[in-house]
Amino acid sequence: MWQRIKSLFAQQSLWIRIGISLTLLVTLILVVLGYRYTWGWMGVSGKNFWDWLSILIVPVAVALTGSLYTHLHNKAEREEEQQREDQERELALDNQREAALQTYFDRMSELLLEKQLETNPKALAIAHARTTTVLRMLDPSRRASVLRFLGDTDLARQVINRDMRSLNLEGVDLSSANLSQVELLLVDLASTNLKRADLAGANLEKARLRRANMKQVNLERANLWRADLTKAHLHNANLRGANLTEADLSGAILSEADLSGARLKGTNLQGADLQGALLKRANFINVKGLMPEQLEQYRLQGAYIDTPRPVHTPASLPTPIETPAPSNSGQESEEPERKQV
């Protein structure tokens, strides 16, 4: 109904513009003919420019206003139509993703129940292929649902591998998810909720974890080489033996975190909060962003700060200079001098 009303209005606007244009054209023709043939009945004799301007200004203004209104109206209609098409396209894509997710769950459940997935190499290969395909199709929130499903069924480690690199999981909820020993290389987990998640032994090399909520997360022996953990919240996190070499932990909260045996060589710790953290045997060689007094404090807490000193072999030791023993004659010659003094 609304579309029909708009169509009728557009048609009326078109006829109005045509009518105004024809009226102006006929008026102009009559004026020209009146001047040429001096038609007295038209009253054009003696009219100057300002007279004609006062006569024509109203219809011209009406015509321009009508054209401007029509242009703006058509532009608004086009924008509204484009917005409606975008919404319909997004809705169709969302429905397609939801259908793909449900199909994935159904087929994976069949593999688990009928094919003994955990002990069947062919079934595992099929599961891996389906997982790779569906993760590329889905939006971040549905990708998180897939990862949760795989974690709950203890398939995450077997199915997720380096083919999942660079996945976008920004801002999703993976709290308490079981993702131990999974391959999450270069994955975008910025602002993600990983509270109490199990990522023990996971490969998070060069992963993006800026501002992620990682309270009480288990990252024991995880690989976080060159990971971006800027302003990440790692309060009470388990980072025992984790590889944080050259990672960016600037502004991160590591209060009461367990960093025992963790490797932080070349790591950026500028502005990081390490209050109450366990640092026994943590490798702090060449860390960045810490003051000398902070380094000394962490050394006293058990962190390894100093670089190894070079060990000199006997061949590299300098040869001692031999001093000749004083002779008796020298002593005798010196004795008279002392006496003279």
- In this predicted structure, what is the pLDDT of residue 327? 47
- In this predicted structure, what is the pLDDT of residue 51? 60
Q: Who has greater pLDDT, 37 or 66?
A: 66
Q: Is the pLDDT of residue 14 over 70?
A: no
Confidence of residue 125 (pLDDT cuts 50, 70, 90): confident
Which tokens sit at 151? Answer: 């974690």
Per-residue pLDDT tens digits for 248-277: 999 999 999 999 999 999 999 999 999 999
Confidence of residue 154 (pLDDT cuts 50, 70, 90): confident
Q: Is 155 helix (H, G, I), strand (E, B) or coil?
A: coil
* Cα–Cα dist 150/105, whole Å: 10
| 17: CB partners within 8 A, 6+ apart | 63, 66, 67, 70
Confidence of residue 40 (pLDDT cuts 50, 70, 90): low
Residue bearing tokens 């069949």: 110
Q: Taking residues 150-156, what's their average pLDDT?
A: 87
Predicted TM-score (pTM) of this structure = 0.68
CB 260 within 8 A of CB 278: yes
The closest alpha carbon to 63, from 25, 33, 30, belongs to: 25
DSSP state of 311: P
Q: Who has greater pLDDT, 188 or 153?
A: 188
Beta bridge partners of 268: 248, 288
Provide the percentage of residues in the chain whose pLDDT is more than 90. Answer: 50
Q: Is 206 helix (H, G, I), strand (E, B) or coil?
A: coil
CB 185 within 8 A of CB 207: yes
DSSP state of 308: P
Averaged pLDDT of the chain: 81
CB 137 within 8 A of CB 100: yes
Which tokens sit at 99? Answer: 């259908």
Structural domains in the chain, sorted by start: 165-306 (2.160.20)
Q: Is the pLDDT of residue 13 over 90?
A: no
CB 147 within 8 A of CB 159: no
- In this predicted structure, what is the pLDDT of residue 100? 94
Which tokens sit at 203? Answer: 């490969």
